[in-house]
Amino acid sequence: MSAMHSNPHDRRGPADPRDAPLYTFTIAARHLGIPTGRLRRWVIGRSHSRRRPTAPARPLIRAPAGSGLISFNNLVEAHFLRAFDAREVDRMALVGRALAYAEETLEAERLLLRRELRGPGREIVVDRLGEWLALSPSTRMAMRHTLSACLDRVDRDGEGFVVRFHPFVPWNPASRAVAIDPDVSFGQPTVADSGVATAALVSRVDSGEELQAIADDLGLEAGQVMDAVLYERSA
Q: Taking all residues of the chain, what is their mean pLDDT, rounded to a whole number?
A: 88
Please give the C-alpha separations between residue 219 and each of 167, 169, 174, in angstroms, as whole numbers.
22, 21, 22
Q: Are 20 and 64 in contact (CB under 8 A)?
A: yes
**CA separation for the pair 205, 118 (Å, rounded):** 38
Look up the CATH number of domain 166-235: 1.10.10.10
Average pLDDT over residues 111-140: 94
Please say whether the beta carbons of 165 and 76 come within 8 A. Answer: yes
Residue type for position 198:
T
Q: What is the pLDDT of residue 29?
A: 95
What are 59-111's pLDDT values in tens digits?
Answer: 999 999 888 999 999 999 999 999 998 888 888 999 999 999 999 999 999 99
pLDDT band per the 50, 70, 90 thresholds, residue 54: low
Per-residue model confidence (pLDDT) at position 47? 56
Q: For the segment 210-219, what is each residue's pLDDT rounded down to a tens digit? A: 999 999 999 9
Domain with CATH 1.10.10.10 in the chain: 166-235
The whole model's pTM is what?
0.87
Within 10 angstroms of residue 119's Cβ, the number of other Cβ atoms is 10
Quickly list H helices, 17-136. 25-32, 36-44, 72-81, 89-106, 120-133
Distance, in Å, from the CA atom of 187 to the CA atom of 181, rounded to the nearest integer, reads 5
CA distance 46 to 232: 31
Per-residue pLDDT of 4-34, as tens digits, reads 334 444 445 557 889 999 999 999 999 999 9
Q: Residue 4: what pLDDT?
A: 39
At residue 65, the pLDDT reads: 87
